[in-house]
Structure 1
């Protein structure tokens, strides 16, 4: 905690707790430990977990004959006789399509659209990736990581792999009316992450453009709902059109909220500093971090 407080005082950590900050802490420890060349992260609430998932996820970056620096996992989101993965199906995919229509297609949007499941929490990378990657501290983590890999590496160093025949995890509520949690907050954070990345590439946003984007997204997402309905019927799955369209309505509203936050806070720092920057400011941080973790493990019997 003393190390963390020192970094916090220097503005080198995220001010708010979140998934991204937890991952950032783990990245720092991996760099400090020096005994791993390939690293994988996966969600901790997987109820269908099998060790083969980790093997499939790690293999592309652990095999020395391959040149991949990063691997993204994907899987079918079907469980309990219905389609899952609402945020990816009903927000990310139609939002990317809407961004193409509203602002024009570009290489980054094509790249993001190429991932089978962009919000999968499972990804792996080689150790050197950790040094200069900048990630969001919130639910925009998955989009942020993909965006950083696009910025730092060519596409032929990036791959995706099917890691599970069956996948299910603990589901979050929509949290309609509460932007501080659940899928509602997630949708806002993800939208902000996409807007910020596009802004770094020269896309100009305004209140009017966000209104246009919302309208384009809403119509596109409803078309996606129709397609998913047909897919569910073909595969004998349950499908609640009413709940799906309620989710689309919430996500459309949250796209506007994300846009308003983006416009109102132009100086907001979206990323946690890279570990290269942290080491530049505090040169001995990694050995101190490794020693602190070792002491904690001895103290608490880990």
Structure 2
């Protein structure tokens, strides 16, 4: 199969982004991630396959509609006190409810697409890339959790002269990252924590492979623009010792920069749509602490 016809699971294509690489960009979000970060703002990205979601705020109510309940054969959707209730444990991911729903209350995160179909969407905004120096950014989830699809996207984008960036957690064999970098114009690499035990507690994996991959990519690709990022998370890495350790680890080279991202809860409602619990409920980042940490990062 040629690159243009390679397929993968995409859960969102977001246009006119200015925070995920140089210039105006189109973000392509791929399903699947090896990490389970407690604060993840895209919980719909974690699992590799398409999955059902229920947003009750968009529901027309059972009295007006109720088509989803009639379409569901597994008993995941039922009526309770006149309201539609969703039991994710009973859901068989058949998506009949989403097909029947007229309001988008029942939906599916994830669609199988070809590289050609994705890049045709990306190329719709080519005029903005030309003027701003932007292009395509692969994100997720983890972009390289679907390696064949992601690498085919990068290669085909290069053939079409679309500038490319990926956002990555870095947790996979180094060979996969090195192959991607051969087709990249820039790399955005998250370093969430330097303490391995703490990293595993909050993300589900330790950070040895991540740190080794970052070290190696900085050495092997000295001309590739690399941005290291740390999302500052309350109760996890919002302290001077942790940020100082990461700052000292990130090499001071012309092609490498380092920045901190401020914790936010914009993805919290999606946990409810998926029938999951948001583990960071009530967490807040103190602005005075964030200012001190920015000083260290700079």
Q: Which has the higher contact order (CA 8 A, sep 6+)?
A: 1
Name the one with the larger strand percent: 2
Identify the TM-score tier after normalising by the shorter chain: under 0.3
Name the one with the larger helix percent: 1
TM-score by length of 2: 0.27
